[in-house]
Amino acid sequence: MSKSLLAQLREMTTVVADTGDIDAIEQVRPQDATTNPSLLAAAAQMPQYSKIVNDVLLDARKQLGDQAGDSKVTKLAFENLAVAFGKQILQIVPGRVSTEVDARLSYHTEGTIAQARSIIQKYESAGVSRQRILIKIASTWEGIRAAEKLEQEGIHCNLTLLFGIHQAVACAEAKVTLISPFVGRILDWYKKSTGKDYQGADDPGVQSVTKIYNYFKKFGHTTLVMGASFRNTGELIELAGCDLLTISPHLLEELDSTQGNLERKLDPQRAKTMNIDRIPMDKATFDKMHAADQMANDKLKEGIEGFTKALEQLEQLLSKRLSELEAVGAR
């Protein structure tokens, strides 16, 4: 009997689940898992996780006291909730979980560093080693500088919302552990911009990740490439061999139920033989390349705004839940 596409993919790529749904992670059993504010907001509204959410809120209230305003409590609760879900996920996956800092800190180096340290301290207080955590940070110049400092402290980072080679090179030179180029969001931009449909190797998101992967392997960068934000299994098939791929549960199920031969498309030895020019990176070069790349410019801005909105919605949800819990407690 032939192996499924997922079984073959696992032989050449580390498979990561892109979800905050603990039940879904239990079903697909990935090596690692990633979360973000949108995924946490969705998971927080599922009835099976109401106890986790309630416990986090009541703990935050207890920690800050009755005099603290609801906004302070919900901000602390968001960070604690991300860690609470992360701890649950780490009981299932053998590898690492990515936990995201507040998207509103995307252009604030020191604020990002402070929150990352706080998240790691919470995990370590719960007996979880920092080696099992990746701190997710947006790939702005300020975010990359924060990640560089955190990596020097042994806090490993996953640089997200990455759309251009300039962001990738800056991350590699900062020696971050891992980057997450967003395949599907790149495809979305090109489809909207050109009105064309793209398939297989013609997919601009696939081409972007392939270019980054080959550049890293050619120049011996240790930063790992984790393709993210997929729209279809065709994109995953074209990136077989990538260091890691973070995949939503429904696409994991599709790969698992599909038979066929999966060819390795990305190969480190082949990349070493390619004729690729090195790009020396500094802030001026980064800013110039970012300004010239309309897609990366648009999608980074949109991504930060989207995660900020999801976080604000999650805080509203937590604030409402806190009021309900305190009303019940007062009766």
pLDDT score of 68 more than 90: no
* Residue 192: active-site member: no
User: pLDDT confidence of 7, banded at 50, 70, 90?
Assistant: very high
Alpha helices in 174-293 (DSSP H): 183-194, 204-218, 233-238, 249-256, 268-272, 283-292
Other Cβ atoms less than 10 A from the Cβ of 74: the count is 22
Of the listed 136, 217, 218, 299, which one is catalytic? 136
Round to whole Å and give the CA distance between 135 and 145.
Answer: 14
Tell me which residue range forms the domain holding 87. 5-330
Average pLDDT over residues 199-226: 97
CA angle at 267 for the pair 266 and 273, rounded to the nearest 5°: 120
Which pLDDT score is estimated for 71? 83
- Number of structural domains the chain divides into: 1
Note the pLDDT tens digit of each residue in 74-104.
888 888 999 999 999 999 999 999 999 999 9
Beta strands in 7-132 (DSSP E): 14-18, 32-34, 97-100
pLDDT score of 294 more than 70: yes
Round to whole Å and give the CA distance between 297 and 87.
Answer: 34
Round to whole Å and give the CA distance between 61 and 76.
Answer: 9
Q: What is the mean pLDDT of the chain?
A: 94
Report which DSSP code applies to 104. Answer: G
Domain CATH for 298: 3.20.20.70
Round to whole Å and give the CA distance between 307 and 37.
Answer: 6
Strand partners, 160: 138
Note the pLDDT tens digit of each residue in 236-274.
999 999 999 999 999 999 999 999 999 999 999 999 999
Greater pLDDT, 30 or 138? 138
